[in-house]
């Protein structure tokens, strides 16, 4: 013990004198491991943290901190460090079997401790432990978890698999017991129920790598994405599972119900703004609820379809066409209701002029519930929001009112300059959208007889049309050249010459494609990708510039805001980093990565109070 203390003292003196330059990080880690074995956890922890200051991505240091916290029985921090080490190892494509086993051991220990006090939490922790053991292919340890879970009460799917007696084949069977990966899926579902979506997602994807036709894994992954709010991916996986289940004559009621709910939600969202889209979504929802034999939901969909215009006497497709064409029958408003609406507008305008915006907004909304085509009410409602400081909502309402007639001077007066500004912004990266806004601006300026506005908008439209036509001509020329090459190749009889010419033509085509791409304007996604490449190459200044360009095009691009915060952190500009990370936090909510980086940024900025606050929020995610 005395020798180790002397060695530690010499080590720290040497580091202080040499400025950490001559000493290898590996030697420090080896010294820390030696102290770990002697149970000198505090000293080992200091050395591991020193290594992380010098090498933030050191996997061995993160695993060491995880082991130290296990030794100190501080399981929360042990899990944080070990999971970070696992993420780093996955990113670097390094083997992390010992880290996964250690994570499994931590969750197993937690589960055993909670078996008497909190059985539900103990089951969750044991399920997580099993998941990590399965990922590490530690079969013996996984078998121990199985025994512990059986002792506590096995999940329903496992019990059914063990106690079911042989019976004759039914017309439709459940896919739960048809795969060797059932135990892994059961563990993943337990994680999902407790909010551990990332870990559950990894297990589902692992199962699909091994068995691409696993219906249960496809369904579970679709359900998980639905919970995360990613409806596109949810629909993709659930449709795949539904098609496979139909082919194999397997019951898929649960999956069809989830699909129905997703399309029902989409239909309800767009019921007022896009009736044709709502009809399509609701019709699809009705189809999936019929497959699932969910009569209660079918009644709800039938009611909504009537509201959307799919009434008796017309088919759903005919109703959708009528709504899209604007030929659907209009409601006749009685004289008494018109007088009530006019009073509401008058009272609302008085409230707005008097600075009582919320009361004014309430009156305008009531007026619009009587007549949704009243453009004066839309104008006043938008004005109230603008005075409140909510410009985006004001313009949204004015645009909604503009749909009911593009000759109303008051709306044209506020929307024409807005449309022109949007057209100028889009003209740098999206010609088609820029042209759409420019045409709307031209209509607006024409409605208010603004000669100067009309003239400059026409010039912008001509410029955009010229750019679009140039690109179309280039694309047509490229297609013609490609056709000529293919015809020339077809005439060459010698196979060797044909192969040689094909290689030459492929190079020419690639060069032409790159030249054409260079002429097209960059989108916010292109700038974002460029920023990511610069960030990974540690060119943080260039990354900041590209992320800012992406945000100039799309201001609410949350991923670019978050990455910009991380880039500023790397540049040690902690105040600006905190500013962008807090914006990302407001956009993305309690995202673990945002919370962790906010905590680290505040810590680097010597603000311990805020660092601890966000670290506590980060830890709460793992307690769920």
CB 260 within 8 A of CB 253: no
Considering its fold, how many domains does the chain have in total? 5
Q: In terms of domains, do 302 and 364 share one?
A: no
| Domain span at 321 | 176-325
In the structure, what pLDDT confidence band is assigned to residue 594 with cuts at 50, 70 and 90? Answer: confident
Q: Which of 549, 556, 555, 584 minimizes the C-alpha distance to 569? A: 584
CB 390 within 8 A of CB 357: no
Burial string for 519-538 (b: 16+ CB within 10 Å, else e) reads: eeebebebbbebbbebbeee
CA distance linking residue 175 with residue 214, whole number of Å: 8
Q: What is the CATH number of the domain that holds 544?
A: 1.25.40.10
CB 602 within 8 A of CB 615: no
pTM comes to 0.35
CA atoms within 13 A on the CB side of 487: 6
pLDDT at 566: 93
CA distance linking residue 592 with residue 188, whole number of Å: 19
In a domain, 19, yes or no: no
pLDDT tens track for 30-53: 888 888 878 788 878 888 888 887
Burial string for 306-335 (b: 16+ CB within 10 Å, else e) reads: eebbbeeeeebeebbbbbeeeeeeeeeeee
DSSP state of 113: H
* Residue 260: exposure state from Cβ atoms within 10 A (0-12, 13-18, ≥19): buried
Q: In terms of domains, do 453 and 478 share one?
A: no
CA distance linking residue 399 with residue 397, whole number of Å: 5
In the structure, what pLDDT confidence band is assigned to residue 314 with cuts at 50, 70 and 90? Answer: very low
Q: Which of 124, 189, 182 minimizes the C-alpha distance to 158? A: 182
Q: In terms of domains, do 63 and 144 share one?
A: yes
pLDDT at 427: 67
In a domain, 13, yes or no: no
Taking CA atoms, 383 is separated from 365, 395, 554, 616, in Å, by 13, 9, 25, 42
As given in the structure block, the two tokens for residue 2 are: 């005395």
CA atoms within 13 A on the CB side of 385: 17
Mean pLDDT of 168-197: 63
Q: In terms of domains, do 201 and 316 share one?
A: yes
For residue 607, pLDDT beyond 70: yes
Mean pLDDT of 438-466: 82
Q: Where are the alpha helices (DSSP H) in 335-450?
A: 335-353, 357-370, 375-388, 391-402, 409-426, 431-447
The torsion angles phi and psi of 250, rounded to 5 degrees, stand at -110, 140
In a domain, 11, yes or no: no
pLDDT at 563: 92
For residue 243, pLDDT beyond 50: yes
Which of 106-115, 281-290, 362-371, 435-444 holds the top average pLDDT?
362-371
In the structure, what pLDDT confidence band is assigned to residue 85 with cuts at 50, 70 and 90? Answer: confident
Asked which of 105, 138, 161 is the last residue of a domain, the reply is 161
In a domain, 292, yes or no: yes
As given in the structure block, the two tokens for residue 112 are: 């055993």
pLDDT at 564: 92
CA distance linking residue 314 with residue 322, whole number of Å: 10
pLDDT at 173: 39
In a domain, 167, yes or no: no
As given in the structure block, the two tokens for residue 173 are: 């069977």
For residue 118, pLDDT beyond 70: yes
As given in the structure block, the two tokens for residue 497 are: 């010459």
CA distance linking residue 500 with residue 103, whole number of Å: 56
In a domain, 16, yes or no: no
pLDDT at 152: 61
DSSP state of 120: H
Q: In terms of domains, do 138 and 53 share one?
A: yes
Mean pLDDT of 337-342: 80
Q: In terms of domains, do 225 and 294 share one?
A: yes
Mean pLDDT of 329-338: 59
The mean-pLDDT minimum among 116-120, 215-219, 393-397, 526-530 falls in: 116-120
Region of 472 on the Ramachandran plot (φ > 0 left; ψ -120 to 50 alpha; else beta): alpha
In a domain, 6, yes or no: no
251: three-class secondary structure by DSSP: coil
Other CB atoms within 10 Å distance of the CB of residue 281:
24
Q: In terms of domains, do 138 and 186 share one?
A: no
Mean per-residue pLDDT over the chain, rounded? 76
250: three-class secondary structure by DSSP: strand
Asked which of 304, 325, 346 is the last residue of a domain, the reply is 325
* Residue 16: exposure state from Cβ atoms within 10 A (0-12, 13-18, ≥19): exposed
Region of 293 on the Ramachandran plot (φ > 0 left; ψ -120 to 50 alpha; else beta): left
DSSP state of 172: S
Q: In terms of domains, do 441 and 471 share one?
A: no
Q: In terms of domains, do 270 and 185 share one?
A: yes
Percent with pLDDT over 90 in the chain: 4
For residue 524, pLDDT beyond 80: no
Taking CA atoms, 596 is separated from 341, 592, 599, in Å, by 52, 6, 5
Asked which of 325, 352, 376 is the last residue of a domain, the reply is 325
Q: In terms of domains, do 136 and 198 share one?
A: no
Mean pLDDT of 566-589: 89
In a domain, 10, yes or no: no
Q: In terms of domains, do 232 and 311 share one?
A: yes
22: three-class secondary structure by DSSP: coil
The mean-pLDDT minimum among 265-269, 364-368, 456-460 falls in: 265-269
The mean-pLDDT minimum among 220-229, 301-310, 317-326 falls in: 317-326
CA distance linking residue 80 with residue 69, whole number of Å: 10
For every residue of 568-605, which 3-state class applies, written as one string?
HHHCCCHHHHHHHHHHHHHHHCCCHHHHHHHHHHHHHC
Q: In terms of domains, do 361 and 269 share one?
A: no
| 316 compared with 374, residue with greater pLDDT | 374
């Amino acid at each position: 013990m005395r020798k180790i203390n002397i060695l530690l003292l010499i080590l720290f003196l040497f580091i202080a004198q040499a400025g950490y330059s001559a000493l290898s990080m590996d030697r420090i880690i080896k010294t820390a491991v030696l102290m770990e074995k002697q149970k000198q956890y505090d000293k080992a922890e200091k050395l591991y943290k020193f290594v992380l200051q010098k090498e933030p991505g050191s996997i061995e240091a993160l695993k060491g901190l995880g082991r130290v916290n296990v030794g100190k029985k501080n399981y929360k921090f042990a899990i944080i460090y070990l999971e970070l080490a696992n993420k780093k190892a996955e990113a670097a494509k390094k083997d992390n079997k010992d880290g996964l086993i250690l994570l499994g051991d931590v969750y197993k220990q937690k589960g055993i401790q909670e078996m008497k006090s909190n059985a539900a939490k103990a089951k969750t922790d044991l399920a997580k432990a099993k998941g990590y053991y399965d990922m590490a292919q530690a079969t013996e340890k996984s078998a121990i978890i199985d025994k512990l879970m059986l002792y506590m009460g096995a999940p329903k799917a496992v019990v059914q698999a063990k106690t079911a007696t042989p019976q004759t084949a039914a017309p439709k069977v459940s896919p739960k017991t048809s795969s060797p990966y059932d135990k892994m899926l059961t563990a993943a579902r337990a994680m999902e129920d407790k909010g551990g979506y990332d870990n559950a997602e990894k297990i589902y994807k692992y199962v699909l790598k091994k068995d691409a036709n696993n219906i249960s894994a496809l369904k579970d992954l679709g359900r998980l994405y639905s919970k995360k709010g990613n409806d596109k991916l949810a629909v993709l996986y659930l449709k795949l599972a539904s098609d496979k289940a139909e082919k194999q004559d397997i019951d898929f009621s649960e999956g069809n119900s989830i699909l129905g709910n997703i399309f029902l939600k989409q239909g309800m969202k767009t019921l007022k703004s896009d009736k044709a889209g709502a009809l399509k979504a609701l019709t699809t929802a009705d189809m999936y609820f019929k497959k699932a034999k969910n009569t209660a939901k079918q009644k709800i969909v039938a009611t909504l379809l009537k509201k959307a215009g799919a009434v008796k006497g017309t088919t759903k497709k005919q109703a959708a066409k009528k709504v899209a064409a604007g030929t659907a029958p209009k409601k006749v408003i009685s004289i008494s209701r018109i007088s009530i609406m006019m009073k509401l507008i008058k009272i609302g305008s008085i409230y707005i002029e008097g600075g009582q915006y919320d009361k004014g907004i309430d009156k305008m909304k009531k007026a619009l519930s009587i007549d949704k085509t009243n453009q004066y009410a839309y104008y006043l409602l938008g004005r109230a929001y603008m005075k409140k400081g909510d410009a985006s909502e004001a313009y949204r309402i004015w645009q909604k009112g503009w749909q009911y007639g593009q000759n109303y001077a008051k709306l044209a007066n506020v929307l024409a300059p807005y449309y022109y500004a949007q057209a100028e912004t889009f003209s740098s990266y999206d010609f088609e959208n820029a042209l759409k806004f420019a045409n709307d601006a031209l209509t607006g300026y024409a409605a208010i007889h603004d000669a100067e506005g009309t003239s400059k908008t026409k010039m912008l439209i001509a410029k955009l049309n010229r750019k679009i036509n140039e690109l179309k001509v280039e694309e047509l020329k490229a297609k013609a050249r490609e056709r000529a090459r293919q015809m020339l190749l077809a005439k060459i009889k010698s196979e060797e010459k044909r192969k040689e010419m094909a290689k030459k033509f492929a190079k020419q085509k690639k060069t032409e494609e790159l030249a054409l791409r260079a002429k097209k304007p960059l989108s916010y996604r292109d700038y974002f990708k460029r920023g990511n490449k610069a960030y990974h190459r540690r060119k943080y200044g260039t990354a900041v510039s590209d992320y800012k360009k992406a945000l100039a095009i799309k201001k609410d691009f949350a991923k670019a805001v978050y990455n910009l915060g991380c880039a500023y952190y790397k540049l040690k500009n902690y105040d600006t980093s905190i500013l962008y990370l807090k914006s990302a936090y407001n956009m993305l909510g309690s995202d673990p990565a945002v919370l962790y980086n906010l905590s680290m940024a505040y810590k680097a900025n010597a603000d311990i109070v805020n660092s601890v606050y966000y670290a506590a929020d980060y830890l709460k995610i793992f307690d769920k």
